[in-house]
């Protein structure tokens, strides 16, 4: 019996999701024993024409990581969707928009200006920007279109399942592979992970006071958290109350607050609004003025509450 084929593809991402697959270590040998990898650009040389030649259904599942920002990425994910009966959004960027999605807080023009004009390491006196089509020595050089905003995968194609995390953990990658191979899959549209919030699994939960109040916000850039105490109790923003568990508490065990990369639990549609609701009740202030003063000391609330999820949030982007 022929082994099922799987595809891995990347869009606007950092490469961490590719590293997560490699981090399976010897378990990757168990995977390749039961599946054939039909596409994996980071490791194997494949061309678009090879994928275009696939028959529909020839490849069982496509794991697609990264957000969608360029016309080329959009073309690729639509091509893979047309060829594969199952598509899994792999990692935070495909699932929610991820770190690249923070650029939705400004315009395309401001993003390009910051990159090509204002960066201290860029020498661009003619203020040249990449062009979609350029003629060089009689040849046409065509670049992908840089879209007006970042989109998560399900805003471009239909997605069957979501594997959260920045990056997904090896344990959940193996669990997803097991589900596919055995056919024991959850309901379509499910996030492959736990249902509880991270606070329920937190190794520091016993240190959380019954009445939690925040009198001042602190940052790990300026001070070091107590390795035994609840981050929120110390005044550090920790997204644990609004974040799905299942990550293995990797950041917390490294003495860093949760940043929210697993996204919201099933019952919550928007991680930012869920956390805003929680943090509003924790402010140690007895008047609106004091609450406003305390809230004003929180640095970059958009980037803090929507670090991984701005494109998929109710905000989508700041300008439209």
| Same domain flag for 207 and 301 | yes
Indicate if 261 and 294 belong to the same structural domain. yes
User: What total number of domains does the chain contain?
Assistant: 2
Q: In angstroms, how far is the first alpha carbon of the chain from the final one?
A: 51
Q: Who has greater pLDDT, 194 or 61?
A: 61
- Under the banding of pLDDT at 50, 70 and 90, the label for residue 318 is low
Tell whether 156 and 241 lie within a shared domain: no
Pinpoint the alpha helices (H) of the chain. Answer: 16-22, 27-34, 48-52, 71-83, 92-96, 108-113, 170-182, 198-201, 231-234, 250-253, 271-280, 288-296, 301-305
205 shares a domain with 73: no
Burial of 211 (C-beta count, 10 Å sphere; 0-12/13-18/19+): exposed
317 occurs within a structural domain: no
Nearest to 39 by CA among 63, 20, 23: 63
Mind listing the pLDDT tens digit for each residue in 47-67?
999 999 999 999 999 999 999
Nearest CA to 151 out of 191, 104, 88 is that of 104
Is pLDDT above 90 for 280? no
Residues 295 and 203 both lie in one domain: yes
pLDDT reading at 170 higher than 60: yes
Least-confidence region, from 39-48, 193-202, 280-289: 280-289
Check pLDDT > 60 for residue 8: yes
Predicted model pTM: 0.92
Residue 44 has a pLDDT of 86
Give the whole-angstrom CA distance, residue 204 versus residue 206. 6
> What pLDDT does 110 receive?
95
- Note whether 32 and 88 are within 8 A (CB): no
| Cα of 241 vs its chain's centroid, Å | 18
Contact 121, 113 (CB under 8 A): no
Q: Tell me, yes or no, whether 95 and 20 share the same domain.
A: yes
Q: Which residues pair with 62 in a beta bridge?
A: 7, 87
Residue 68 belongs to a domain? yes
Is residue 44 situated within a structural domain?
A: yes
Whether residue 110 is contained in a domain is answered as: no
Residues 212 and 285 in one domain: yes
- Residue pair 117/127 in contact (Cβ under 8 Å)? The answer is yes
Crossing angle of the two packed helices 27-34 and 170-182, in degrees rounded to 10: 20
Task: List, as one string, the DSSP characters of 123-144.
Answer: --TT-----SEEEETTEEEE--
249 assigned to some structural domain: yes
Q: Could you tell me if 274 and 205 lie in one domain?
A: yes
Lowest mean per-residue pLDDT among 87-96, 106-115, 145-154, 288-297:
288-297
Once rounded to an integer, what is the mean pLDDT over residues 287-305?
Answer: 88
Domain extent at residue 295: 198-305
What pLDDT does 283 receive?
A: 86
Cβ partners under 8 Å of residue 2, min gap 6: none
**pLDDT, mean of residues 221-245:** 95
- Is residue 138 in a domain? no
Whether residues 164 and 283 fall in one domain: no
> How many angstroms separate the CA atoms of 240 and 242, rounded?
5
Asked, for residue 277, whether it belongs to a domain, the answer is: yes
CATH number, position 21: 3.40.50.700
Helix, strand, coil share of the chain (percent; to 5):
35, 15, 50
- Tell whether 167 and 229 lie within a shared domain: no
For CA atoms 296, 298, 300, 301, give the dihedral sign. Answer: negative
pLDDT at 317: 66
- DSSP, residue by residue, 27-67: HHHHHHHH-EEEE-TTTS---HHHHHTSPTTSS-EEEEESB
- Segment 182-192 shows an average pLDDT of 93
276 shares a domain with 208? yes
Chain mean pLDDT for the chain: 92
Q: Model confidence over 103-162: pLDDT tens digits?
A: 999 999 999 999 999 999 999 999 999 999 999 899 999 999 999 999 999 999 999 999
- The total number of residues shown for the chain amounts to 320
Residue 135 lies in a domain: no
Question: How much is the pLDDT for 320?
Answer: 47
Whether residues 20 and 152 fall in one domain = yes
């Amino acid at each position: 019996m022929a082994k099922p084929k799987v595809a891995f593809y990347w869009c606007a991402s950092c490469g961490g999701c590719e590293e997560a697959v490699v981090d399976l270590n010897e378990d990757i040998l168990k995977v390749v024993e039961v599946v054939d990898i039909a596409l994996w650009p980071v490791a194997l040389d494949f061309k678009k024409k090879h994928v275009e030649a696939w028959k529909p259904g020839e490849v069982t599942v496509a794991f697609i990581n990264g957000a969608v920002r360029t016309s080329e990425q959009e073309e690729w994910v639509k091509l893979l969707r047309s060829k594969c009966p199952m598509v899994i959004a792999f990692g935070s960027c495909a699932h929610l928009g991820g770190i690249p999605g923070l650029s939705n807080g400004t315009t395309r023009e401001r993003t390009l200006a910051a990159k090509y004009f204002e960066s201290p390491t860029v020498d661009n006196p003619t203020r040249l920007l990449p062009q979609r089509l350029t003629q060089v020595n009689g040849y046409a050089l065509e670049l992908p279109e840089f879209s007006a905003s970042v989109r998560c995968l399900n805003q471009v194609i239909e997605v069957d399942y979501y594997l959260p995390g920045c990056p997904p953990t090896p344990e959940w990658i193996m669990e997803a592979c097991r589900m596919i191979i055995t056919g024991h899959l959850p309901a379509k549209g499910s996030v492959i992970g736990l249902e509880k919030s991270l606070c329920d699994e937190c190794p520091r939960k016993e240190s959380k006071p019954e009445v939690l109040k925040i009198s001042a916000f602190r940052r790990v850039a300026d001070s070091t958290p107590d390795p035994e105490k609840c981050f929120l109790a110390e005044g550090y923003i920790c997204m644990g109350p609004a974040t799905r568990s299942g990550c293995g508490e990797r950041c917390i065990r490294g003495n860093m607050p949760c940043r929210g990369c697993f996204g919201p639990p099933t019952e919550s549609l928007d991680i930012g609004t869920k956390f805003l609701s929680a943090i509003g009740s924790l402010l140690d202030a007895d008047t609106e003025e004091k609450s406003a003063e305390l809230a004003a000391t929180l640095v970059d609330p958009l980037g803090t509450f929507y670090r991984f999820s701005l494109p998929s949030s109710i905000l989508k982007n700041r300008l439209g």
